[in-house]
């Protein structure tokens, strides 16, 4: 997969969504910006809540030909007709997820700051590897995925890479030459106008 001239946007939902308002918000963002994929990244384990949110987001996404993956719930991805799964446990369950979901599903792997985990995930059949956070974020243990990790990856490894976590305009500008996707979520949803905020970040790429 050739690295695109400009990174694509991989949209990440908030950890909790309000079903009465979020699908409309999501539709507005999808209609106003070019989105490659959406990750349903809900906190909590209640399958009923997750399923209702997944159904609502899937309708919005699939009406616009945008793929929707879900964080960690391999069986729910299958049951709910989603396009794949995003795994948070580095490379550990990539092979099992690929076996369960088949060759056509999207299987992605978040590998923190570990080049080794990223390579292992790629070898196990991941469609993409995500590293992060690249900026200050509540995620993780305070360690940050540095630009040189992405630079090395983009030169050496074929598997597409996602930069996510704590994005700012400056970080987007600096990382754009070395990443295939930017994973954008909390950066825009906390804003009064998520689409305007997203477009500000997209403008920083160019």
Domains of the chain from N-terminus onward = 8-205 (3.20.20.70)
Q: Yes or no: say if 85 and 70 are a contact pair by the CB < 8 Å rule.
A: yes
Which stretches does DSSP call E strand in the chain? 8-12, 35-40, 67-71, 84-87, 106-110, 128-131, 161-164, 181-184
The C-alpha atoms of residue 203 and residue 193 are separated, in whole angstroms, by: 16
Exposed e or buried b for every residue in 153-180, given b needs 16+ CB within 10 A? beeeeebbbbbbbbbeeebbeebbebbb
The reported pLDDT for the residue numbered 139 is 56
Bridging pattern class, strands 161-164 and 84-87: unpaired
Q: Is the pLDDT of residue 130 over 80?
A: yes
Q: Is the dihedral of CA 49, 50, 55, 57 positive or negative?
A: positive
Confidence band of 79 (pLDDT split at 50, 70, 90): very high
In this prediction, residue 206 has a pLDDT band, given cuts at 50, 70 and 90, of: confident
For the full predicted model, state whether its pTM sits above 0.75. Answer: yes
């Amino acid at each position: 997969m050739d690295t695109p001239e400009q990174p694509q946007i991989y949209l990440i939902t908030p950890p909790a969504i309000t079903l009465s308002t979020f699908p409309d918000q999501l539709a507005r963002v999808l209609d106003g910006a070019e989105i490659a994929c959406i990750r349903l990244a809900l906190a909590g384990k209640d399958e009923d809540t997750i399923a209702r949110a997944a159904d609502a987001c899937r309708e919005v996404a699939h009406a616009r030909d945008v793929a929707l993956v879900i964080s960690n719930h391999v069986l729910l991805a299958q049951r709910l007709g989603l396009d794949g799964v995003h795994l948070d446990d580095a490379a550990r369950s990539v092979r099992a997820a690929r076996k369960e979901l088949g060759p056509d599903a999207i299987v992605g792997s978040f590998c923190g700051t570990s080049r080794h985990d990223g390579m292992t995930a790629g070898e196990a059949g991941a469609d993409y590897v995500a590293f992060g956070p690249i900026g200050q974020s509540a995620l993780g243990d305070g360690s940050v995925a540095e630009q040189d990790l992405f630079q090395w990856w983009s030169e050496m490894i074929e598997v597409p890479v996602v930069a996510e976590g704590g994005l700012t305009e400056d970080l987007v500008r600096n990382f754009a030459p070395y990443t295939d996707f930017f994973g954008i979520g909390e950066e825009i949803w906390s804003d009064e106008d998520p689409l305007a905020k997203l477009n500000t970040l997209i403008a920083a790429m160019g």
